[in-house]
Structure 1
Amino acid sequence: MESTFHGVMAFALLASMLLLGSVLRNRIGLFRNSLAPASIIGGMLGFILLSLGLIPGFEAGDFQALTFHFFTLSFMSLCLTGKSKNASLSGGSVVRGGLWLTFIWTISLGLQGVIGYLVIVAYDAVTGSDTSAWLGAIVTHGFTQGPGQALTYGGIWESQYGVENAAQVGMIYASLGFLVAFVIGVPVAKKFIRGGLNANKASNIDGAFKSGFYRPEQAPSGGKMVSHPANLDSLGYHLGLLGIAYLVTYLWLNFIQAQVAGLTLGGINLSVLFSFNMFFVHGLAVCVLMRFCIDRLGLSHRVDDESLKRITGSSVDFMVVGTLMSIQFTVLYELLTPIMLVTLAVTIATLIGCLLLGRLSGTLGRERALTAFGCCCGSTGTGLLLLRMMDADFSTSVPKELAFFNLAIIVTNFHILFFFAPLVPSLGGWTYFLVFGGTALIFLAGIPLLMMRPSTIPHLQAKESCS
């Protein structure tokens, strides 16, 4: 049995780092005032301990698989969660607000990739280095999409197209993205709150927010029991739902891989699109279909959305700490200068873009700007965490807009997420600019349409009346 413990102990180390991070956040004034999440603190602590060789028997690679699966779980549980019903402070149509978030994210996805590619090209020209420009392009999958996609696409680029260290560099960008989101996003949120610029005036940075723990009398409910404990614990029940989704996705990929083996489309190997590296994409679709069936069959009362949110939140926490602990110090050291140059350029462009476009979105523009910045530098969970600072009880319509956004970005970026992203190194520079840069420009050109009054857009007016 001893051989089975290594993976379990890797998970135990992630959990331990999270707990230590929460204690440090609670006890150290610097961490309390910075509002750094326990996952960031614990992840950095784990990275330092691993880099110094103070966790014998473990290395960064031991945490990559766990990071991938926690990322996948976070998205799948999010897609199983029903629609939010709490939105007393409205910024207008949920559809329109969600489209603003969708357009900002889509522009960021294309723009970050182009900027990262060009920065590496310029770096090579100035220094005479031969760093692959694709190690700059993958920044968009680490920043705008997060560690799961960075690991997924980086792994494909590395194994299929020979882009050395693509997965590791993608994970480094994802880690830096999380850090940037909080190092910049938290002070911006504080500034908005102290200036009274947030719509939800009940939201404030109180003692519980700073310490990271609730007082007993303040503790909110974290969900309700669906199944009787004499039959099955409710948490186990909800994990079972995700287990079914995981199993269905696994069986589907096993089946479809045999069908597409050897098939090509335009010279592109279709098996890449149906590899297990793309598990999260197919799992997301399975969970959307499962939730649709649950709702249509009138079984939504058998699913507690708050319990699923706890699973999503916990998965995000484990994903963040795992991302930081998956960084290989040697890769970071060797490519430190180009990585930092790419990160700096992308951060500046993303911050300016989110603040400007968020302001143009009208009422709740600041909430959307901050949420979009979190999503474009980390993940949906990061954006939600930054939004929670300005809208602690989620009484604005932005959380519902964020739910719409999670589905809309799949539609607006279908060609990139499902087709081009896994195949990027085979495209060539100009085709890459055409796909990623062209997508960003098209949606940037569509911003004036979102700024028009709803009454001048009949189909949008109809949607708003339904919202």
Structure 2
Amino acid sequence: MGSTFHGIIAFALLAGLLVIGSLLRSRLGFLRASLIPGSIVAGVIGFALLSLGWIPGYGPSDFTTLAFHFFTLSFMSLCLTGSPKPAVGEARQGILGGGLWLTLIWTASLGAQAVIGYALMAGYDLLSGSDLSPLLGAIVTHGFTQGPGQALTYGTIWENDYGIANAAQVGVIFASLGFVAAFVVGVPAARYFLKRGMNANRESTLDDDFIAGFHKPTSRPSAGKQVSHSGTVDSLAWHVGLLGLAYVITYVWLTVMQPLVGGNQVLSVFFSYNLFFIHGLTVCVLMRLVIDRCGWADKVDDDTLKRITSGSVDFMVVATLMSIQISVLASLLVPIAIVTVVITLVTFLGAMAIGRLSGRLGPERAVTAFGCCCGSTGTGLLLLRMLDADFSTSVPKELAFFNIAIIVVNIPTLFFIAPIAPTLSTWQYLAIFGGYFMLMLVCVPLLMKWQRSRGVSNASLQEANPS
């Protein structure tokens, strides 16, 4: 039985580090003041322990897989959650409009990050005399806006098929640094909005519990209701079982489809296990539709699913930070640092500027979009949780629409261009991704005009903060 423990202990390490990181975050004054989540603290500790070789028998690759699957679970559980009652600000701007704003910001970021990352790495080569591929800078857009799974996917293709050395690991490093950047910059931004009461959900405030990291015994909120009798099945086990069923359906679907599309490179990428979360998200949306149509909604507790979503995000962040290989990071530290700092600054300014135009939920969308553009949608959810603790606004549902919309809008870049990027000339690559960025800027006034036609004023952000 000893051979069966390796993967289980890897998960146990994540869980144990999450406990340690959360306790340190609640005990150390500078961590409390920063409001950085315990998952980030845990991930940094885990990365340090692995880099020092203090976790015998385990390496970064053991946690890359866990990061991928927790990322997938976070989305699947979110999409299995039922539609909320009319939410704060939802009457003024529906899920569709908010989702379009998030899609616009994300797509603009995808293009801008690719161009800037490519240019910065080419400039570094020119000034330093090194011979690095500019695509090692461009892959920042897949690490930041798409996360570790997609960065690993494209990086592996570039590395194995086109000889771009260390592309996969550099992508994972950018994804990990994206998580750090999201919280180093995103948390202060969220705190700014909270202090000024600019968030729509007034239940989310910088109270003592928020700062301490743990609720007092007298103020602990409910974590959901039990829908099944424990004599039959525990309610938590029931909800995990629903996700497990969706996972199996998705896996079988991909297993059946892969041989059928094997001759087409683009479809092979789309139906690969690396894009499992897209298919899993769709399966969960369909499952929820069946549940609601058949009158089984009383057998699903949405608050429990929200807890699974939030917990999966926490585990994903820890696992991603522990996926960094210190040797690759050390050898490329200077160019990686330059690209990371510049991309973080540009992404933040862009998300804040466009987010402010999106209506009354502008602060929530700006912070969420910045998080999504610095690692994954899971990061955006973590930052959103600061402004909307119980996910009562429409923004979480906008994220579900957004995750489908960004795939549709970016099919040319993600499925046709990204896999074969090393075959393109410099100007071809820059024209394609730069063109997408410019197209999104053109769409900003068009979306504002459509927004006004629905009776949503651009001044509504200020209306949310009359002071």
Q: Tell me if TM exceeds 0.5.
A: yes
- The answer to whether the 8 A contact 1:91-1:397 is kept is no
Question: Distance between the aligned counterparts of 1:27 and 1:101, measured in 2?
Answer: 36
Shift of 1:387: 2.7
1:254 positional shift: 2.0
CA distance in 2, matches of 1:175, 1:383: 14
**Cα distance in 2, alignment partners of residues 288 and 82 from structure 1:** 9
| 1:48-447 mapped onto 2 (5 Å cutoff) | 48-85=48-85, 87-90=87-90, 92-94=92-94, 95-261=96-262, 263-264=263-264, 268=265, 270-447=267-444
- The change in CA–CA distance for 1:250 and 1:195 in structure 2 (over 3 A counts) is closer
Q: TM-score, normalised by structure 1?
A: 0.90
* Counterpart code for 2:153: T
Equivalence for 1:451? 448
Query: Partner of 1:54: helix, strand, or coil?
Result: coil
- Shift of the 199–277 alpha-carbon distance from structure 1 to 2, 3 Å rule, reads closer
Q: Which moved more, 1:349-358 or 1:67-76?
A: 67-76
Contact 1:354 1:370 in 2 (8 A): yes
Q: Which residue of 1 aligns with 2:9?
A: 9
User: Could you tell me how far 1:183 is from its partner in structure 2?
Assistant: 1.0
Instruction: Tell me by how many angstroms 1:13 deviates.
Output: 0.8
Relative to structure 1, the CA distance from residue 202 to residue 249 in structure 2 (aligned partners, 3 Å threshold; closer, same or farther) is: closer
Mapped contact 2:140–2:174 kept (Cα < 8 A): yes
Q: Which residue of structure 2 lines up, in the alignment, with residue 462 of structure 1?
A: none
The answer to whether the 8 Å contact 1:83/1:403 transfers is: no
Contact 2:148 2:175 in 1 (8 A): yes
Give the stretch that moved more between structures: 16-25 or 130-139.
Answer: 130-139
Q: Give the aligned partner of residue 31 of structure 2.
A: 31
**Contact 2:88–2:201 under 8 Å retained in 1:** no
Q: Which 10-residue stretch deviates more, 304-313 or 290-299? A: 290-299
Deviates more, 1:54-63 or 1:37-46: 54-63
CA distance in 2, matches of 1:423, 1:258: 21
**1:12-49 superposed Cα distances (whole Å, 9 cap, x missing partner):** 11111111001101111111111111110011001111
| Bigger Cα displacement from structure 2, 75-84 vs 410-419 | 410-419
- 1:401-448: per-residue Cα shift (whole Å, max 9, x none)? 334323332332233344433343344433333432222221210110
Q: Note the C-alpha offset of 1:160.
A: 3.2
Higher deviation after alignment, 161-170 or 409-418: 409-418
Cα distance change, pair 315–421 in 1 and its aligned pair in 2 (3 A): farther
Distance 1:410 1:38 in 2: 31
Q: Any unmatched runs of 5+ in structure 1? A: 459-467
Bigger CA drift: 96-105 or 425-434?
Answer: 425-434
For the 8 Å contact 2:88–2:392, the answer to whether it is kept is yes
| Contact 2:79/2:400, CA 8 A, preserved across alignment | no
Contact 2:112 2:434 in 1 (8 A): yes
TM-fit CA distance, 1:190:
2.3
AA of the residue aligned to 1:105: W
Identical amino acids, percent of aligned pairs: 61
Distance in 2, matches of 1:81 and 1:235, equals: 14
Alpha carbon RMSD of aligned pairs, Å? 2.3
Deviations 1:181-204 (A, max 9, x none): 111112222223333444445532
State whether residues 49 and 55 of structure 2, in contact with CA within 8 Å, keep that contact through their aligned partners in structure 1: yes
Shift in Å, 1:454? 4.3
| Shift in alpha-carbon separation, 1:90–1:272, aligned structure 2, 3 A | closer
Q: Deviations over 1:59-104 (max 9, x none)?
A: 2222111111111222222222222325234582122222212211
Q: Work out whether residues 107 and 439 of structure 1, in 8 Å CA contact, stay in contact via their aligned partners in 2.
A: yes
Greater Cα shift, 45-54 or 251-260 = 251-260
Which moved further from structure 2: 16-25 or 127-136?
127-136
Aligned-partner Cα distance in 1 for 2:32–2:452: 47
Once the two structures are TM-superposed, the CA of residue 396 in structure 1 deviates from its matched residue by 4.1
Distance 1:301 1:407 in 2: 27
2:385 alignment partner AA: R
CA distance in 2, matches of 1:4, 1:105: 41
Gaps of 5+ in 2: 456-467
- Which stretch has the larger CA shift, 169-178 or 400-409? 400-409
- Amino acid corresponding to residue 130 of structure 2 in structure 1: S
**Do the aligned residues in 1 keep the contact of 2:156 with 2:168 (CA within 8 Å)?**
yes
Q: CA deviation at 1:133?
A: 1.6
More displaced, 103-112 or 141-150? 141-150
Describe the shift of the 1:255–1:391 C-alpha distance in structure 2 as closer, same or farther (beyond 3 A): closer
* TM-fit CA distance, 1:400: 3.9
Partner residue of 1:463? none
Shift in Å, 1:330: 0.3
TM-score normalised per structure 2 = 0.90
Alignment size in residue pairs: 454
